[in-house]
Amino acid sequence: MKKLVPLLLCMLPFYSLLAQEISIELFKSDFNSPVNLQHAGDERLFVVEQGGLIKVIDADGSVLPTPFLNLSGQISTGNERGLLGLAFHPEYASNGFFYVNYIDTNGNTQVSRFNVSAGDANIADPNSELDIIDYIQPSGNHNGGCMAFGADGYLYISSGDGGGSGDTDNRAQNRLLLLGKLLRIDVDNPSDGNNYGIPADNPFIADPDGRNEIWAYGLRNPWKFSFDSETNDLWIGDVGQGAVEEIDRASATQAGLNYGWRCYEGNAPFNTANCPDDSTLTFPIAQYSSAGGSPHCSITGGYVYRGSAFPENYGLYFFADYCSGLIGTVDAEGNLTEQETFGGNNWVSFGEDVNKELYILSLGGTIYRVTSETLSTSEFTTEDFSLIPNPASDKVILNFKNERVRSISIFDLKGSLLFSEEAISTTNKEISLSGFSNGIYLVKITSEAGDTQVKKLLIQ
């Protein structure tokens, strides 16, 4: 079982120079309970409001007056119900298909496909709805509702355990039910009378005790999940019962994993009666407490940051807490850091734009950019030294303006030292990049006077 380990900021003497201070800056406000933010492969952003509207933020930052889609007349709202999820087809630019997840007027989950209208890219065709999959929700909470296309082209759908307390009906462990699961379906190749097909490598196709649609199970309320756009790893923020909030990670090919609910809440036993051996369960990569006395209550899963504006955040998984206003990160080794707390915000979702920059949504109606107060692109140049060219490919020249430099070091974004040279005593230095892979690096220089500065270098 994995346990929480504090982020080791002292692993390298240099690491303190890279320590980021997570911050947020206002992007847009005055939305009505925004719960999801997506892009469609261009500069626009699509904001999902729980009450049934999808609004468009245009490339110039303006909110268009006409909603992209209005489903307010065909959904149930209140508690955790409403319009919950949005996913654009990987070929949206050519086919115009997008998918929504909502709770219908009977209180049940409905996943449907819509088309963008033929005459206006900012308005969907409200008459184009095609039912994809639906299932009964016993209660008004733990509905999941997140959706995303994987790199395999299949649509993944999160479903909660159906609500109530403690999953007394053991729905999450019951593979004959779609509740408490992550589903995986093929929306491009329908079969067996459905408007979807089953991928051939789904884990329970040949199992009479498992539904074909299930990819993973044993989840309580996977309110938000995402795929790492670089590694394709799956990250899930699973809301706890009342003591533990958990973060799960799996590779894209790990099928049929059992994440343990209701047997375990995070790493802690919860109700282990008639449960499988814990050696067959997949425990979280990280977790944090939401027990009595803690300000935390409910995790909102996010994304692994793969943008370029804040390279010190690169590769970190971001999550947040609904009650406390916490924004935290988990690194690739599972080290969890509670970065900053922004009180008064009920964080309900993260979102990415087309450039993979990160946003966070407060249920109160405000969308913020997630930023960092150190080493952002606005600080790309300094008065003291320059990197030419930058981006670079085969070599880079370091020019120093005011004094001679004693040493140069180059680190990757994990803090690993890749190059070092001492006793330079020059104002101009050429470095070969032949042994470096494409990516973002951090160049540290120390002057003969002992002053230290850091600059980003992009190798492509």
Walk me through the domains of the chain, giving residue ranges and CATH numbers.
15-372 (2.120.10.30), 380-459 (2.60.40.3080)
Q: Which amino acid is at 65?
A: P
Give CA 406 to chain center in angstroms. Answer: 41
In the structure encoding, which two tokens stand for residue 197, read together?
């097909």
Question: What residues have CB less than 8 Å from 46, skipping those under 6 apart?
Answer: 37, 38, 39, 40, 54, 55, 56, 57, 68, 86
Question: What residues have CB less than 8 Å from 247, skipping those under 6 apart?
Answer: 235, 236, 237, 238, 284, 285, 286, 287, 299, 301, 317, 319, 330, 336
How far apart are alpha carbons 288 and 355 in whole angstroms? 30
How far apart are alpha carbons 270 and 166 in whole angstroms? 8
Record the pTM. Answer: 0.81
Report the run of H or E that residue 6 belongs to, with start and end.
none
- Please report, in tens digits, the pLDDT of each residue of the chain (460 residues total): 333 333 333 333 333 344 458 999 999 999 999 999 999 999 999 999 999 999 999 999 999 999 999 999 999 999 999 999 999 999 999 999 999 999 999 999 999 999 999 999 999 999 999 999 999 999 999 999 999 999 999 999 999 999 989 999 999 999 999 999 999 999 999 999 999 999 999 999 999 999 999 999 999 999 999 999 999 999 999 999 999 999 999 999 999 999 999 999 999 999 999 999 999 999 999 999 999 999 999 999 999 999 988 888 999 999 999 999 999 999 999 999 999 999 999 999 999 999 999 999 999 999 999 998 754 333 323 456 788 888 898 899 888 776 778 888 888 765 678 888 887 877 778 899 988 988 888 888 887 777 777 778 889 8
435: Cα within 13 Å, side-chain hemisphere: 6
